[in-house]
């Protein structure tokens, strides 16, 4: 089974919906250890994405993802905009010309997307950032490939791994981004970026459950 071009459009729409629904929640998390704009940033970015999508809806998956990335970079301020922009740009590079993705294609796209975030933000596992949700999701997909699971199952498991990674950030002290300015006081709070990353990957799992 495959993820087709229209499935990726559905996922982007689901991201916009879930980030809109959780905008207040993400902003509340960011208010505790940052400047309280993460939900607003993500919601603004994906609103802009939804306005751009119709222009590329008949193009290949690579063009769609790259358009999402460029739109996020140009509309979302702060740390998360360029990082999520890089995420989608890199996923788009790996999907250039493709009208469908099999599990291996999706793994390569997600792996490259997360590598882009790491390269740009220089965060390591355990620094209490979005990388702590994204990286376990990639590892989970690799295991699922080895176990010959369906795309739908593999992506659900990768979202569960992201959720665990998100929860794991709670006790940690932030070592990157604004939250790191708080030092020890950042402990005891869930990272907002790890939370938005989980929401984005869970949206993929929900959208592609039957793939």
- Positions that interact with ligand ADP (CB under 6 A): 30, 34-35, 37-38, 41, 78-80, 83, 117, 121-123, 129-131, 176-178, 191-194
With CA atoms as reference, report the closest residue to 33 among 146, 144, 191: 191
Q: Say how far apart CA 15 and CA 111 lie, in whole Å.
A: 19
Centre a 10 Å sphere on the Cβ of residue 5 and count the other Cβ atoms it contains.
20
Among 60, 121, 53, residue whose Cα is nearest residue 93: 60
- For 65, the token pair is 């993802």
Question: Restricting to residues 17-36, which ones interact with Mg ion according to CB under 5 A?
Answer: 30, 34-35
Min dist CB 70 to ligand ADP, Å, is 18
130 binding partner (options ligand ADP, Mg ion, none; Cβ < 5 to 8 Å by kind): ligand ADP
Check binding of 181 to Mg ion (CB under 5 A).
no
* CA 33/CA 198 separation, integer angstroms: 18
Question: 12 near 47, Cβ under 8 Å?
Answer: no
Judged by beta carbon distances under 5 to 8 A according to partner kind, the member of Mg ion, ligand ADP, none in contact with residue 193 is ligand ADP
Q: Name the residue nearer to ligand ADP (CB basis): 66 or 128.
A: 128
Tell me the residue ranges of DSSP E strands in the chain.
Answer: 3-4, 100-101
Using the minimum distance from each CB to ligand ADP, give the nearer residue, 129 or 140.
Answer: 129
Q: How far is the CB of 83 from ligand ADP (least distance, A)?
A: 5
Least distance (Å) from Mg ion to the CB of residue 68? Answer: 20
- Residue 79, contacted partner among Mg ion, ligand ADP, none, CB below 5-8 A by kind: ligand ADP
Shortest spacing between CB 118 and Mg ion, in angstroms: 20
Closest CA to 91 of 129, 122, 45, 60: 60
């Amino acid at each position: 089974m495959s993820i087709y071009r229209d499935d990726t459009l559905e996922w982007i729409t689901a991201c916009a919906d879930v980030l809109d629904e959780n905008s207040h929640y993400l902003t509340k998390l960011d208010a505790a250890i940052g400047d309280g704009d993460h939900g607003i940033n993500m919601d603004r970015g994906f609103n802009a994405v939804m306005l751009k999508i119709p222009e590329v809806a008949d193009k290949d998956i690579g063009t769609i993802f790259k358009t999402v990335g460029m739109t996020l970079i140009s509309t979302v301020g702060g740390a998360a905009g360029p990082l999520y922009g890089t995420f989608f740009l890199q996923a788009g590079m790996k999907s250039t010309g493709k009208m469908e993705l099999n599990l291996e294609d999706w793994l390569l796209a997600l792996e490259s997307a997360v590598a882009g975030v790491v390269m740009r933000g220089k965060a390591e596992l355990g620094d209490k950032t979005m990388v702590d949700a994204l990286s376990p999701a990639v590892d989970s997909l690799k295991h699922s490939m080895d176990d010959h699971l369906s795309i739908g199952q593999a992506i659900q498991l990768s979202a569960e791994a992201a959720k665990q990674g998100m929860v794991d950030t709670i006790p940690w002290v932030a070592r990157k981004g604004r939250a790191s300015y708080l030092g020890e006081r950042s402990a005891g709070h869930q990272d907002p970026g790890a939370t938005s990353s989980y929401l984005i990957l869970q949206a993929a799992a929900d959208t592609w459950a039957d793939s």
